[in-house]
């Protein structure tokens, strides 16, 4: 006759593990899971970093080629002006002044964008209040305020500046 362990009656009491053993077992499983997740994140980051590096190199090469094309186009425009009867020195000066005006406008727009930076005022105020132990207004919001009034003491954040 063959032996069938499933047909045997189970013991009256399942083997009980102590609380310490269960906690140790859970801790071991959690640390294994965390290590596995970290290894997965490292592998994904390595793969993504290689792709980003390759893409950055390709973008750099494309920018270099576009810069060479801009230089050649500048010469073509200058010699086109010469063909129209403009003196050679004046044609090259016109092209140079055009690029200086474009560069100046780009700097002006860039400076205007930088002036709109908030400088993380809200974050710094929040950190100072945490450091000093003062409430920053979040705990003072009471039930008597309506939904439109909650957060009205905060300064608005507008990403368009």
- What pLDDT sits at residue 144? 52
- What pLDDT sits at residue 21? 86
Helices 19-83 and 88-115 sit at what angle, rounded to 10 degrees?
150
CA gap 152, 155 in Å, rounded? 8
Total residues found in the chain within this entry: 161
- What pLDDT sits at residue 71? 96
CA gap 77, 86 in Å, rounded? 11
Q: What is the pLDDT of residues 5-50, one digit of tens each?
A: 555 555 544 467 788 888 888 899 999 998 988 988 888 888 888 8
**Of the candidates 84, 77, 119, the residue with the CA atom closest to the CA atom of residue 98:** 77
* Prediction pTM value: 0.48
- What pLDDT sits at residue 106? 95
- Its sign, for the CA torsion 29, 34, 40, 46, is negative
Residue 80 pLDDT level (bands cut at 50, 70, 90): very high
More confident residue, 40 or 77: 77
- Residue holding tokens 């305020």? 145
- What pLDDT sits at residue 141? 47
């Amino acid at each position: 006759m063959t032996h069938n362990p499933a047909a045997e009656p189970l013991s009256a009491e399942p083997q009980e593990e102590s609380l310490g053993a269960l906690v140790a077992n859970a801790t071991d499983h959690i640390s294994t899971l965390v290590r596995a997740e970290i290894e997965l994140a490292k592998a994904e980051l390595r793969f993504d970093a290689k792709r980003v590096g390759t893409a950055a190199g390709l973008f750099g090469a494309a920018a270099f080629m576009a810069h060479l094309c801009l230089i050649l186009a500048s010469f073509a425009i200058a010699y086109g002006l010469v063909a129209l009867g403009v003196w050679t020195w004046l044609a090259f000066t016109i092209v140079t002044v055009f690029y200086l005006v474009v560069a100046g406008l780009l700097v002006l727009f860039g400076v205007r964008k930088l002036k709109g930076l908030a400088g993380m005022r809200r974050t710094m105020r929040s950190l100072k209040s945490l450091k000093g132990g003062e409430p920053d207004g979040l705990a003072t919001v009471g039930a008597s305020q309506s939904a439109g009034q909650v957060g009205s003491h905060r300064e608005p954040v507008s990403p368009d500046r």
